Structure 1
């Protein structure tokens, strides 16, 4: 009887996890086939990041629950101070080189160098920072509702000119 009960519980959790997975994929669904090429992207200033960053939303809606994809472009010698996000994210380098560091304060002596084709994952609420030396473009794959919380509130560019 205990074995039967344990099996039923495992099956219930498995079915629930599969349903959640299907919901995430459905929320990312698109109604049209599209190609995205870096040379023809309509870049916009990215208000959540320090001045100079540009973004282009490819699919999904970062303000709503579900997966979204966005390109982020950073000018040379750019830094994103230490911050966290509410959900896991995956970053893939498409152009240039970035350094990804972990901790509550940007420290250029402690980052991992990542070249074109490299990806990294960041767990929810994990303090991290990024910098580069040359223009860089990354693909951000994340879950909404997306936000950024700077570990030092003075680093937050929102509401500043």
Structure 2
């Protein structure tokens, strides 16, 4: 019995070390400030046309935590979708509507203001929208990041 316990402990230690090696850690090489006026925004191909993104830290295509800013124009909807891992969204500028479910319904959501956040569990269907003003949010998530639209016709990668 004692040898089984020791073998199990050694196996768990080895598995834990292997799992740690597979997760890229979020690190920075230098101190850097980010100001909206100086951000190099790029079109975000995973979202409907009009969204822009800027990677702050990490790599969303690899395992590990990353931080990105997303910029949405006024009156911009992102249809219902899911992500493979948990996300944290914080509003930096403007307002962001947020709702849960398989179909975008602004009447069933809430509006978040600057400084407010929501946490979204993995594989949880949700949708977001903006109203009359440009909105910028900070996304903190785990990669590899992806998006699966509830209605495949909403996927901009298929258009």
Q: What is the TM-score of this pair, normalised by structure 1? A: 0.85
Residues 72-87 of structure 1 mapped to structure 2, 5 A cutoff? 72-87=70-85
The DSSP-based 3-state class of the residue aligned with 1:39 is helix
Q: Which residue in 1 is equivalent to 2:157?
A: 158
Instruction: Return the alpha-carbon distance in structure 1 between the equivalents of residues 78 and 142 of structure 2.
Output: 20
Given that 2:102 and 2:126 are in contact with CA atoms closer than 8 Å, whether structure 1 keeps it comes out as: yes
Q: Classify 1:33/1:23 alpha carbon distance in 2 versus 1 (closer, same or farther; 3 Å).
A: farther
- Which residue does 1:138 correspond to in 2? 137
Match of residue 110 from structure 2? 112
Query: Cα RMSD between the aligned structures?
Result: 2.2
Check whether the contact 2:22–2:63 (CA below 8 A) recurs between aligned residues: no
For 2:38 and 2:29, locate their aligned partners in 1 and report how far apart those are by CA, in whole Å: 21
Distance (Å, rounded) in 1 between the aligned partners of 2:28 and 2:61? 17
Ranges in structure 2 where 5+ consecutive residues have no aligned partner: none
| TM-score, length of structure 2 as denominator length | 0.86
Displacement, 1:84? 0.2
Q: Structure 1 segments of 4 or more deviating over 3 A?
A: none
Q: Distance in 1 between matches of 2:109 and 2:34?
A: 29
Alignment correspondent of 1:50: 48
Q: Give unmatched runs, 5+ long, in structure 1.
A: none
The CA distance in 2 between the partners of 1:142 and 1:100, in whole Å, is 17
